[in-house]
Amino acid sequence: MLLEKVLITIRDLEIQDDRFATIKEQLTRGYQNLKRDVAVIESLTKKDITDFFRQSIHPASPQRAKLAIHFIAQANISELVKGLELNEKTAAQAATDLQARLSAVSQDEEIGYLRNYLLDLKVTESKISAAAEIWRKLLAQNKDAPSSNGTSPIRITDVRDFKSGLTVTGGARPVTDLSEFEELEP
């Protein structure tokens, strides 16, 4: 059934033209990919497919790649600022400042930054303590969940630093060497 879908002849020349234009734009020059794909699909066995599923798709596989992004919602900071009983303009500015400051530091330093910022706003010590306690509870709710496939999650605190540590992949490469298509005249 899969081979039938791959081998369907394209009846509309515009669709075929679009397919070749896409190949050309991707700089792969893979005009013979269809024949190669059919050869690979024909050689697949049921065991190959189940092994691939167990390694790459099954949720319990350690090799399975997955990405989980957890955000602390803006509403949490808004709720925290509401409890401080600041005027509307100061509260809006405080929410923006706290979001920027708290996202720029590690979790260990967040409470200290929160306390210092609120002291600068001349908030009473009791309200600062209450805000710090609320923030600790929010942090406890957003701790990393254990992974179900045996790998440990990676906390990304600095995106630029994380991206700079990734390995660089090579660009698109032609499937076949262009010299094969050259017509040299004797």
Boundaries of domain holding 127 = 74-141
Is residue 102 situated within a structural domain?
yes
Q: Does the pLDDT value for residue 47 go beyond 90?
A: yes
Instruction: Decide if pLDDT at 52 tops 80.
Output: yes
Co-location of 78 and 136 in the same domain:
yes
Does any domain span residue 46? Answer: yes
Domain membership of residue 175 (yes or no) is no
Residue 25 domain flag: yes
Q: Are residues 79 and 30 part of one domain?
A: no
Token duo for residue 2:
């899969």
8 Å CB contact between 61 and 55: yes
Question: Based on the domain organization, do 52 and 78 belong to the same domain?
Answer: no
By CB atoms closer than 10 A (0-12, 13-18, 19+), residue 98 is buried
What is the per-residue pLDDT for 1? 64
Exposure string for 145-176, b = 16+ CB within 10 A, e = fewer: eeeeeeeeeeeeeeeeeeeeeeeeeeeeeeee
59 shares a domain with 85: no
For the residues 42-58, what does the mean pLDDT come to? Answer: 88
75: number of Cβ within 10 Å: 9
Q: Are residues 89 and 58 in the same domain?
A: no
Q: What is the pLDDT of residues 85-143, one digit of tens each?
A: 788 888 888 888 887 777 666 667 777 888 888 888 888 888 888 888 887 777 776 55
pLDDT computed for residue 107 by the predictor: 66
**For a pLDDT cut of 70, what percent of the chain falls above it?**
73
